[in-house]
Structure 1
Amino acid sequence: MRLTHLKLAGFKSFVDPTTLHIHGQRVGVVGPNGCGKSNVMESVRWVLGESSAKEMRGDSMDAVIFNGSGNRKPISRASVELVFDNSLGGASGEWSQYAEISVKRIIERDKGSTYYINNTVVRRRDVADLFLGTGLGGRAYAIIGQNTINRIVEAKPEELRIFLEEAAGISKYKERRRETELRLRDTRENLTRVEDILRELDKQIVRLQSQAVVAEQYHQLQAALNITKAQVWLLKNRDASAQWGKAQRNVEKLVIELEAQIASLRSNESALETARQKNFTATEVVNQAQASYYEANAEVSNLENQVKNTADARERMQLQLQQLNAQLEKNSTQRGNFESALQTAQAELLTANTDFIAAEQTIKVAREAVPVLSGQYQTALAAFNASQAALMNAEQRLRLEQANIGHVARTAAETNEQLQRLQQSLSGLQITSDNAVAEKQLQVISAEAEVATLEKLASATVQKEQALAHELKVQREAYTSKQRELSLVEAEISSLTKIQQTMKNGNNEAALNAWLKNTGLENKARIWQGLSINKGWETALEAALGARLNAIVADKLDINSRSPSALTLAVDSALPTNQAVNKNALYALIEKIEPTQQAVVQDWLSGAYWLEDGVDARTASQKLANGEYLVNKQGDIYTKHSVTYFGA
């Protein structure tokens, strides 16, 4: 492939779309300082996948976007496109069929980059694979930029090896080999998981087979139960037929009783009508007797008034007579004048006596007639009360009979409806013989006994299942606890392995082992072997001590030769017995430590304090002095002016 065009838009100083036509084998870009010559080379490295902002001379990848000038506003998008001539088919993979290949990278502020090959969205790795083995790429030797020659000259053997493999064209094969090994590792892991799944499926198949046997037994018992239900239904049908005949006879009996009740009701109604007529007659007699009684009382009152008036008049006459006699005695001389008045008064007296005697006779007769009239009134009143009671009793019996008639009518209607339903049921039934019924009854009894046995078996199975479920729950809880402990141990092993790996330096490992053997430190203990901290704070201790966890405990530090690689030696020394430890210090969380290592570990952890979850680290770190720091369970270290996040 040969580069023919370079298109830039919004990339650093190339704010306007710019196309560079590259003809021939050599093309030079000349110009004064600051005109953008280096930007052209950086654009080529950037579009080929450069991901380091430092290599692009910026603090972030968004720095490649034009950020504005005195007379131009900043833009939010930058793109670089390389156009290659592939007429000879030099490209590898699926792109070899195209005569021209376009590689483009577009970046937008706060959105990241997007790669295109022939206007198709691809991954950054696809762009790297396209140029693998050609010397092109974000860090390849084919692009010589600022300080590139110095980096090649000062490169270590491992870095020079990468350049040589790229130049020899074997880097792509190594990359493919690495990918193949990764795929093989993933395939082995998948096979392991498949084997686990197969074992689990075998267990499930065994369990499902037992469940299938139980289900088959259930279906057989269900079919037998359906047959038994049908037989029971036939028996109930026969009983219903007998009940229908009995109900029909009851209906006939009730109809006869209903007719008798109706006849009794008719006679009660006629008796009630007769009682009503008698009541009306007695009421008239009582009214007439009451009228006569009231008239007699009025007449007696009048006669009593007349007798009273007559008595009053007699008293007045006698008083006048006395006065006249007295006046006669006193006025004997006036006798002649009063004789005529006396005669008149005597005549009036005689008349009054006669009237008085007649009134007394009339009163006597009226008084004799009063008891007779009172007796007649009492008799008429008693007859009226008796008629009224008989009328009320008759009406009560009438209402009772009407209620009985209504109840009988409803009973008859319900019986007729039940009779109709039984007739309909009977019309659709086929009565089996008594022998068949007896045989089916025996089958029903046998099926019921078998169902009872199966119910007992099911109850025992359910109890056993509950016990197994409880045991399974206990085992799962124990498994979860062990799994959690295993995870913690694996994390600790991983941390320690990482520390050991960081202490090893490739080809210097053999030299380090020889040096340890010569100095007598080969079999000395490491710091981490005699050290343990409260559960959950292992990462914090690893972040605080770092590589010093792998330090070798030595008796003394006067060693003549220097270690060939990085190594930490700790001298045996114990703390004074009366020295107090700050409870907030990270050293206070250590559960177990060798006495001879206490002084060196406390020296390393001096100024380290533990930070509980939920506490504001920024506020707490402001109270620290110089040289002091806070560390949390995640291994993050906070000082007064900085924070360091721990990475596994």
Structure 2
Amino acid sequence: MFLHKIKLAGFKSFVDPTTIELPGNLVGVVGPNGCGKSNVADAVRWVMGETSAKHLRGGSMADVVFNGSTTRKPVGLASVEILIDNTEDNSTDKRLGGQYAAYDEISIKRRVSRDGQSVYSLNGRRCRRRDVTDVFLGTGLGSRSYAIIEQGMISRLVEARPEELREFLEEAAGVSKYKERRRETENRIHHTRENLHRLEDLRDELTRQLKHLSRQASLAEKYKVLKQEERLRRVELSGLHWRALGRQLSEKDREIRAQEETVAKQLAEQHRLESSLDSRRAEHAAAMNEFNDGYRAVLDAGAEIARGEEAVHNLRERAAQTEKRLTKEQEALKEARDHLKTEQEDIETLQGTLAEKEPALAESERIVTEAADAHAGAETAMQEWSLVWEAIGLRVAEAMRSVQAEEGRIEHLKERLANSSERYIRLQREQDKLDPRGLQQKLEELGAQLREQDTVRVAAESEHQDHGVIVGDLRQRIRALSETVNSARERSQEARGRLSSLTALQQEALGKGEGAVTDWLRRNGLIERPRLAEKLEVSAGWERTVENVLGAMLRAVCVDNLDVPVSMLAELQEGAVTFFQANGDTERIRTSSPPDGHETDHEAGDGTGNEASNQGGDQANDGTGDETGDETRSTRLVEKVSAPWPVDTLFSGVHAVHDLEEALARRSTLGRGESVVARTGEWLGRDWLRAHRGSDPTAGVLPREREIKGLSEVIDTLRTEIHDGEAAMEGAHRAREVAEEEQSRSQARIAEAKRIHATLESRLGEQRMRLDEAARRSRMIADELTELREQRQQARASLEEMQAGLGEQKADRDRLIGERDGEAAKRREYQERLTENRARWHKARDDSHRLAVEVASIRARHDSLVQARARDHDQVAGLEVRCEELRRALAETEDPLQKLDADLALHRTRRQELEVILQEARRRVEGLDMAVRDLDQKRHAIFGGIESGRAILEKMRIGRQETHVRGEAIEEQVAASGHVMAEVLDGLPKEAGAADWQHRIDTLEQQISRLGTVNLAAVEEHARQAERKGYLDSQHQDLMDALATLEEAIRDIDKETRNRFTDTYEKVNAQLGVLFPRLFGGGHAHLELTDSDPLNAGVTVMARPPGKRNSTIALLSGGEKALTAVALVFALFELNPAPFCLLDEVDAPLDDANVDRFRDLVKDMSGRVQFVIITHNKNTMEITNQLIGVTMSEPGVSRLVTVDVDSAIAMAEA
């Protein structure tokens, strides 16, 4: 196989799509410096999987994408594709095997965008980078292989470390794939051992869980036994309730029958009362007619009496007035003669009286007129009512006669239809008994019940599925929680182990180990007092510096008062101990300003020294806090430390700087007793320096203390996490048990729904058969009924017309009776109004007449007095004449008055007789009315009793249905529990009672309650965990076997690698010994191993050019190094030739003589290896068959110019 084409697009300076054809085994790439020749080698290296931008002469992987020029914009994508000819007829005579052997051409392509993400494809299919590198394993090709020698690569190859040079030999030996397999095998061994550790922890944990689950399973079994007995007792209790409900059902049936008989009796009594009520109403109507006739006669007599009384009253009034006038005239005549002298005084008096009386007279006349009009109106209204009453009475009587006649005709017609009706009714009854509508309704009800059961079943199945999902989710959650808890336990165990180790180290470092001082502190009760290092908090990065300054003070025992240990020192026989008085402020110290008075960036934000120290520590961390200003600026070391009490005395005069250089600059400014310490650990005074290196018992005390505190917090957090996880697991277990029970219940509901569905389907089929039979019989009856219907059609039409007319007549009758009753109610109102208006009119008339007479008298007296003086004699004559006239008038009124009195007496006698008759008629009407009301009240009472009885009956039936439903529900519950009611009842003793059974159930519930929390899934969980334990044991054994197999594979790989590497090493060494003298014209070179073990030994190159002593290659000149590298590469090629090799200006450091030997060697080897040579040397260009020129006529953009050398020579010779 050989490199056939290179396609570039957007890669570095090759912005335009460019295809480089490589038809032969010797291809030269030439061009001026900076035109982009080396980008061809970079493209091949990059497409083979290079991931280091440094090896591609860039800062990042995005640098391989064309970044623009003065005339072109940057592009967003770079791609390189190489096409490899994989046929056997090419000069390299080498072919890829395996899965790529079937391909004559192999395409490898890589693309990258500006975000640096690469996409690989192999033969047009997207793949991984590893797939690309696997293609070239064992072929000598690769992104870092010896087949691509770029600028400077020769010197790096020669000066490579022995381990790096070994890689080239391994690639030549084809053991890179073995190393890759060994690395994978080692990873598998590592993972297998990790899995073994985890598996052993799981097995231990499962063993503990199995012990716990064994106890829970035993408790669960006992719970199940008690629960089963409880369920049986509950079923039996349901049976007892069902039997009691059966007795209640029988009792309710007897009560319902009794109530039905009572209602039937009340209905019969109602019919009897209605018949009596109709008779009484007819008698009442006749009596009412008689009463109305008598009442009209009494009213007529009363009217005659009123008229006679009024005529007598008027006549007597006139006679009285006439007599009064006569008396007055006579008196006036007498007085006129006697009182002529006093006439003037009387005139004046009468004038005043007239002034008072005349207005009153006018008002009285007006009142009389109004009263007369009201009386006339009331009398007219009364007369009109009487006429209306008579008319209504006649119409009611006529209507009742019409109704009776129509009813007689209807009864006659009904008798004519009796025979046909009897037959028709029998057929109709038979048809009604068939009840196709009821059957259809029942069929629809069964269909609805069937659909309802389908809905119930689907809902139950959905619920069962949902519970299954919930159970699965809960089981998965339990597994996840278990893994989380186990992981937390593993991390907690690791943290505890680490904490224990650190604590032991810290105890030893702080002098808390066993010894005389420890015993002395224990005896004096000071062993529990904290050490100073345990209370200090140091900014990150300054711990070692603070340790150097404090030294042994880190072990100081913190006490509240130094007088206490001083009094005990006499008891200390040997050893050294330090005490620190920690009785300062309880708040942490506050960071102060630097000595130069400048404010620092790390002043406390909340007023606590801890915050200041932490911020100062952050500043020290980034290494910029002391470099922002003057290089010699420093802070006090105490600012890097925080503690519960002041510790200024421990760091008095000690300043802190970033490094030794700053410390040296600061030294000259130190005062007496001052010193400066660098973050790197050096401590300087004006005339002294202390640098600490190596190990020290107290080294790392402060970081270790910080780690101990952190581990303690981590352990507490993990303990909480484990507790929460276990609680969550327990809750999940309980939820799973509930969900499983719900799942079981939903399964039972599904089975019950299916059973009911089958029953309903059977009943539905039977109902359809009954409906079909009823339809057939109904058609036969319908035919016969049609015949009868046609015979009765005419008679029924007449009957319907009569009944319709009767209904209208009854409606008219009832309407007229209602109108009559309404008019009767108006009678008292009209009578009272007439009487009241008559009395008011009579009173007003009398008052007005009296006042008029008085006024007339006064006026007459006044007139007579006025005229008295002028016609005294004429007045006397006139008075005599008037007196005579009055006497005659009075005599004329006596005869009419006697006649009127006689007529009035006769009318009064007649009215009394009529009133007696009317009273008798009224008593009869009232008696009949009371009888009707009594019968009607009884009818209403019996109707209310019937309605109440029916309500009671309906309530009884509802109660019976409720009892029946309760019994069916209990029976369904018993059936749902898998029992048969009859068998349950047969199994019960005769003396069994519900209270006794309830007591037994309560006892069982108490026994279950005493069991406490029961894990119902413990049995299943125990079996599952036991199965898992067995599975884990099997896995453990499998892992042990796999580990042994992998270790054996490692040994086989090492053996194969050792053999291949040794063989390759010897062959390359021998070939190097041949090629080196050829390239150098003499001399000697060989390879040496750095270790006796070939598996781990590095490789060095020893060279001796002609005329020089044997030495390492590092002592050679540049050209000698290049030739030595070429010799080594070609030696590798001779051993395992790569299909092609790219040489990037390898001949640059060689002189002409060495170039000639180099090109001769390349030309000889080109028969087996394809060479792509990037060169400036004309001698090297001469051996190439094809030259590819790279130009940059457009700034920043590379383009190709291809020249076929053989064709050019032939053209020149021609």
Q: TM-score, normalised by structure 1?
A: 0.57
1:401 corresponding residue in structure 2: 942
Report SS of the residue matched to 1:140: coil
- Cα gap change, 1:336 to 1:121, in 2 (>3 Å): closer
Report SS of the residue matched to 1:139: coil
2:44 corresponding residue in structure 1: 44
- Cα gap change, 1:319 to 1:385, in 2 (>3 Å): farther
After TM superposition, give the deviation of residue 33 of structure 1 in Å.
2.0
Distance 1:91 1:337 in 2: 180
After TM superposition, give the deviation of residue 29 of structure 1 in Å.
1.5
Q: Contact between 2:305 and 2:904, CA under 8 Å: does it hold in 1?
A: no
Bigger mean CA deviation after superposition, 339-348 or 163-172: 339-348
Q: Contact between 1:289 and 1:376, CA under 8 Å: does it hold in 2?
A: no
- Cα gap change, 1:336 to 1:276, in 2 (>3 Å): closer
Distance 2:907 2:201 in 1: 133
Q: Contact between 2:4 and 2:21, CA under 8 Å: does it hold in 1?
A: yes
Aligned mate of 2:156, from 151, 160, 185:
151
After TM superposition, give the deviation of residue 48 of structure 1 in Å.
1.2
After TM superposition, give the deviation of residue 346 of structure 1 in Å.
4.2
Please list, as runs of the form range in 1=range in 2, the aligned pairs for 1:267-286 lying within 5 A after superposition.
Answer: 267=276, 270-271=279-280, 274=283, 278=287, 281-282=290-291, 285-286=294-295
After TM superposition, give the deviation of residue 312 of structure 1 in Å.
0.9
For the aligned residue pairs, the C-alpha RMSD in angstroms reads: 5.2
Q: Contact between 1:15 and 1:66, CA under 8 Å: does it hold in 2?
A: yes
**Amino acid paired to 1:233:** W
1:29 corresponding residue in structure 2: 29
Q: Contact between 1:9 and 1:79, CA under 8 Å: does it hold in 2?
A: yes
2:327 corresponding residue in structure 1: 318
- Cα gap change, 1:290 to 1:441, in 2 (>3 Å): farther
Distance 2:129 2:35 in 1: 29
After TM superposition, give the deviation of residue 168 of structure 1 in Å.
4.4
After TM superposition, give the deviation of residue 178 of structure 1 in Å.
1.6
**Amino acid paired to 2:329:** Q
Please list, as runs of the form range in 1=range in 2, the aligned pairs for 1:226-375 lying within 5 A after superposition.
Answer: 226=235, 229-230=238-239, 232-267=241-276, 270-271=279-280, 274=283, 278=287, 281-282=290-291, 285-286=294-295, 288-323=297-332, 346-353=887-894
Q: Contact between 2:233 and 2:1001, CA under 8 Å: does it hold in 1?
A: no
Instruction: Confirm whether residue 105 of structure 1 aligns to residue 110 of structure 2.
Output: yes
After TM superposition, give the deviation of residue 59 of structure 1 in Å.
3.6
Report SS of the residue matched to 1:104: strand
1:442 corresponding residue in structure 2: 992
Q: Residues 5-34 of structure 1, C-alpha deviation per residue, up to 9 Å, x if partnerless?
A: 333233223334433343555432222223
- Cα gap change, 1:215 to 1:100, in 2 (>3 Å): farther
**Amino acid paired to 2:194:** E
Distance 2:3 2:878 in 1: 190
Instruction: Confirm whether residue 124 of structure 1 aligns to residue 124 of structure 2.
Output: no
After TM superposition, give the deviation of residue 314 of structure 1 in Å.
1.7
After TM superposition, give the deviation of residue 290 of structure 1 in Å.
4.5
After TM superposition, give the deviation of residue 176 of structure 1 in Å.
1.9
- Cα gap change, 1:213 to 1:194, in 2 (>3 Å): farther
Q: Contact between 1:251 and 1:415, CA under 8 Å: does it hold in 2?
A: no
- Cα gap change, 1:216 to 1:104, in 2 (>3 Å): farther
State percent identity of aligned pairs.
33
Distance 1:231 1:149 in 2: 104
Aligned mate of 1:456, from 1006, 1020, 1023:
1006
Q: Residues 351-398 of structure 1, C-alpha deviation per residue, up to 9 Å, x if partnerless?
A: 345556766788899899999999999998898878777765654444
Q: Contact between 1:279 and 1:387, CA under 8 Å: does it hold in 2?
A: no
Q: Contact between 2:5 and 2:83, CA under 8 Å: does it hold in 1?
A: yes
Instruction: Confirm whether residue 179 of structure 1 aligns to residue 188 of structure 2.
Output: no
Distance 1:120 1:334 in 2: 163
Distance 2:987 2:314 in 1: 104
Distance 2:331 2:881 in 1: 16
**Amino acid paired to 1:407:** S
State how many pairs are aligned.
464
After TM superposition, give the deviation of residue 43 of structure 1 in Å.
0.4
Q: TM-score, normalised by structure 2?
A: 0.33
Q: Contact between 2:66 and 2:78, CA under 8 Å: does it hold in 1?
A: yes
Bigger mean CA deviation after superposition, 344-353 or 172-181: 344-353
- Cα gap change, 1:95 to 1:420, in 2 (>3 Å): closer
Q: Residues 470-520 of structure 1, C-alpha deviation per residue, up to 9 Å, x if partnerless?
A: xxxxxxxxxxxxxxxxxxxxxxxxxxxxxxxxxxxxxxxxxxxxxxxxxxx
Distance 2:143 2:128 in 1: 14
Q: Contact between 1:304 and 1:363, CA under 8 Å: does it hold in 2?
A: no
Report SS of the residue matched to 2:118: strand
Q: Contact between 1:43 and 1:80, CA under 8 Å: does it hold in 2?
A: yes
Distance 1:288 1:36 in 2: 148
Bigger mean CA deviation after superposition, 415-424 or 176-185: 415-424
Distance 2:307 2:287 in 1: 30
1:629 corresponding residue in structure 2: none
Distance 2:148 2:964 in 1: 106
**Amino acid paired to 2:992:** L
Report SS of the residue matched to 2:82: strand
Distance 2:965 2:52 in 1: 94
Distance 2:307 2:1003 in 1: 102
Distance 2:930 2:67 in 1: 120
- Cα gap change, 1:346 to 1:119, in 2 (>3 Å): closer
Q: Contact between 1:10 and 1:66, CA under 8 Å: does it hold in 2?
A: yes
- Cα gap change, 1:455 to 1:274, in 2 (>3 Å): farther
1:521 corresponding residue in structure 2: none
Please list, as runs of the form range in 1=range in 2, the aligned pairs for 1:434-583 lying within 5 A after superposition.
Answer: 439=989, 442=992, 448-461=998-1011
Report SS of the residue matched to 1:102: strand
**Amino acid paired to 1:12:** K
Distance 2:31 2:991 in 1: 115
After TM superposition, give the deviation of residue 50 of structure 1 in Å.
1.4
Bigger mean CA deviation after superposition, 333-342 or 355-364: 333-342
Report SS of the residue matched to 1:29: strand
Distance 1:335 1:223 in 2: 139
Distance 1:340 1:43 in 2: 173
- Cα gap change, 1:53 to 1:360, in 2 (>3 Å): same
Distance 2:10 2:951 in 1: 100
Distance 1:140 1:215 in 2: 73
Distance 1:395 1:382 in 2: 19
Distance 1:128 1:379 in 2: 138
Report SS of the residue matched to 2:29: coil
**Amino acid paired to 2:314:** N
Distance 1:117 1:61 in 2: 21
Q: Contact between 2:287 and 2:921, CA under 8 Å: does it hold in 1?
A: no
Q: Residues 429-488 of structure 1, C-alpha deviation per residue, up to 9 Å, x if partnerless?
A: 99999x9597366387775444323322344446678xxxxxxxxxxxxxxxxxxxxxxx
Q: Contact between 1:293 and 1:374, CA under 8 Å: does it hold in 2?
A: no
Q: Contact between 2:262 and 2:949, CA under 8 Å: does it hold in 1?
A: no
1:12 corresponding residue in structure 2: 12
Q: Contact between 2:294 and 2:917, CA under 8 Å: does it hold in 1?
A: no
Distance 2:11 2:874 in 1: 180
Distance 2:124 2:235 in 1: 71
Distance 1:341 1:271 in 2: 72
2:499 corresponding residue in structure 1: none
- Cα gap change, 1:361 to 1:255, in 2 (>3 Å): closer
Which ranges of structure 1 fall in alignment gaps of 5 or more residues?
Answer: 466-648
